[in-house]
Amino acid sequence: MKILITGGAGFIGSHVVRLFVNKYPHYQIYNLDKLTYAGNLKNLIDVEDKPNYSFIKADIVDETHIFEVFNEHKFDAVIHLAAESHVDRSITNPNEFIMTNVIGTANLLNASRHIWGDKMDGKLFYHISTDEVYGTLGDTGMFTETTPYDPHSPYSASKASSDHIVRAYHDTYGLPTIISNCSNNYGPNQFPEKLIPLFIHNIRNKKSLPVYGKGENVRDWLYVEDHARAIDVVFHSNKLGETYNIGGHNEWKNIDLINKLCDLVDDALGQPTGSSKELITFVKDRAGHDLRYAIDATKIKNELDWEPQETVETGFRKTVQWYLDNQEWLDDVTSGDYQGYYEQQYDKR
Ligand code: NAD
Ligand code: TYD
């Protein structure tokens, strides 16, 4: 089986590529990535020489190139993770999100239809999406697979749009598709623009920790390798046309999570417990900031027997240690454009 994984040089994609390359030596894994600021082939150094792995540098917005790649390799399945993924960047530059997340997804769907024609048996287009498409929850309740879409940021609106297009291709053309919507991921190799790696990086460098608003927003955190295992399970489920919510049963108010991170980093660095909490700074809230996300993952548990393996204690501790042990990786990704991004994003707050 030839499997195309898009966005494989990014955070979640690199964990999915690693899992598939190592677990399924008889599959050919093609990682297609544009290598934006978020894509880093160093995330895959341990698998790059494996005989069942290849890398293709391509932009999913470039329709002609995407069709050439599909014509050449005739993939049997696509796991689509390539996306612009950071909400704050979508607020400053929404068009990039609309191009990659909406048009890019449509190009991949069209290319899949083109090479599969009427022979769709055994084929699969698996679209990886987010719980942010459902909008925001109040203090109670959880997102299920039937919660109506109500996105608020340009990022979540672009992901919602791509989900609708994927479903439309299933219903209209019979394209064999599956979608999963996951909660916030954390773990090694996440770009330090997202909350957890950003704050570990800032504590290490004694920089302020910019908490949006009052820090009362709630997110449901899942360890990235648990997400990769869920993607493996859903990919092999053959539940065409279905949607699965994936979540960690692990809700944290931002400020509580940040306090926990401060303790863990202080402990790992041998600093007095609580010392890094002095870096916490409350800054102007994010526009349209969703209050709470929480996933009801009953369907994937009951139908596919998946649940997270990592606990808060093991997952958060491992993650902190990974960033402290991989300073070179952090230095590498925070060189270049990062400084400019940081100033634009935080100096005005
Ligand atoms: P990421 O930003 O770390 O990685 C995205 C990857 O896509 C990068 O390697 C980048 O180079 C590539 N890419 C971007 N634009 C491209 C283009 N035009 N053509 C080809 N490649 C392109 O993102 P992530 O956090 O790993 O998220 C992966 C997927 O999972 C996304 O679809 C995202 O919406 C979804 N998701 C993420 C989370 C999360 O918490 N990070 C949660 C749920 C769902
Ligand atoms: P983030 O990691 O950007 O994920 P998402 O917005 O997709 O949930 O942010 C997680 C939460 O942390 C979110 O409520 C916004 C908040 N946050 C801050 O308070 N400060 C920051 O500097 C960042 C990046 C996020």
The enclosing domain of 48 has a CATH number of: 3.40.50.720
Residue nearest to atom 30 of ligand 1 (CA): 81
Could you tell me if residue 128 is inside a domain? yes
Could you tell me if residue 281 is inside a domain? no
pLDDT value of residue 348: 73
Chunk the chain into consecutive blocks of 10 residues (it has 349) and report each block's average pLDDT, rounded to whole numbers: 98 98 98 97 97 98 98 98 98 98 98 97 98 97 98 98 98 98 98 98 96 98 98 98 96 97 96 95 97 98 97 93 96 90 87
Could you tell me if residue 104 is inside a domain? yes
Q: Could you tell me the CA-to-CA distances from 331 to 95, 317, 326, 327 in Å, in that order?
A: 29, 21, 9, 6
pLDDT value of residue 88: 98
**For the CA of 182, the nearest atom of ligand 1:** 43
Q: In terms of Cα–Cα distance, which of 215, 198, 209, 207 is closest to 285?
A: 215
Q: Closest-lying ligand to the alpha carbon of 187?
A: 1
Q: Best mutation site among 81, 86, 95, 250 for ligand 1, i.e. most ligand atoms within 8 A of its Cβ?
A: 81
**CB 212 less than 6 A from any atom of ligand 2:** yes
Q: How many domains does the chain have?
A: 1
Could you tell me if residue 287 is inside a domain? no
Could you tell me if residue 85 is inside a domain? yes
Could you tell me if residue 300 is inside a domain? yes
CA–CA dist 65, 345 (Å, integer): 33
Beta bridge partners of residue 31, listed in sequence order: 5, 55
Q: Best mutation site among 196, 200, 209, 219 for ligand 2, i.e. most ligand atoms within 8 A of its Cβ?
A: 219
Q: Quote the domain boundaries for residue 113.
A: 2-186+223-250+293-310+338-345
CA–CA dist 185, 15 (Å, integer): 12
**For the CA of 132, the nearest atom of ligand 1:** 43
CA–CA dist 16, 13 (Å, integer): 5
Could you tell me if residue 161 is inside a domain? yes
CA–CA dist 52, 29 (Å, integer): 6
Q: Identify whether the C-beta of residue 61 lies closer than 8 Å to the C-beta of residue 7.
A: no
pLDDT value of residue 312: 85
Could you tell me if residue 328 is inside a domain? no
pLDDT value of residue 248: 87
**Ligand 2 midpoint to CA 286 (Å):** 9
pTM value?
Answer: 0.98
